[in-house]
Amino acid sequence: MDVPLWFALVVVGVLGVKLIRPPLWLVLVLLLGGYILADSLLSPVIDTAVK
């Protein structure tokens, strides 16, 4: 069974927010920080570290 990555991330995110109930500002900071890091000069370093 092949599940798209975006769908798996959405499911894990929704379950995490419902079960752990972090503050909304923390969720927004993590999402915005990840988006900014993915488009920064550090993206090649992060890409090699993840692989």
For residues 17, 23, 24, 27, the Cα torsion angle rounded to the nearest 10 degrees is -60
C-alpha span between 11 and 7 (Å, rounded): 6
pTM over 0.95: no
Instruction: Give the three-state DSSP class for 42.
Output: coil
Q: Which tens digit of pLDDT belongs to each residue from 4-40?
A: 988 988 999 899 999 999 999 998 899 898 888 888 8
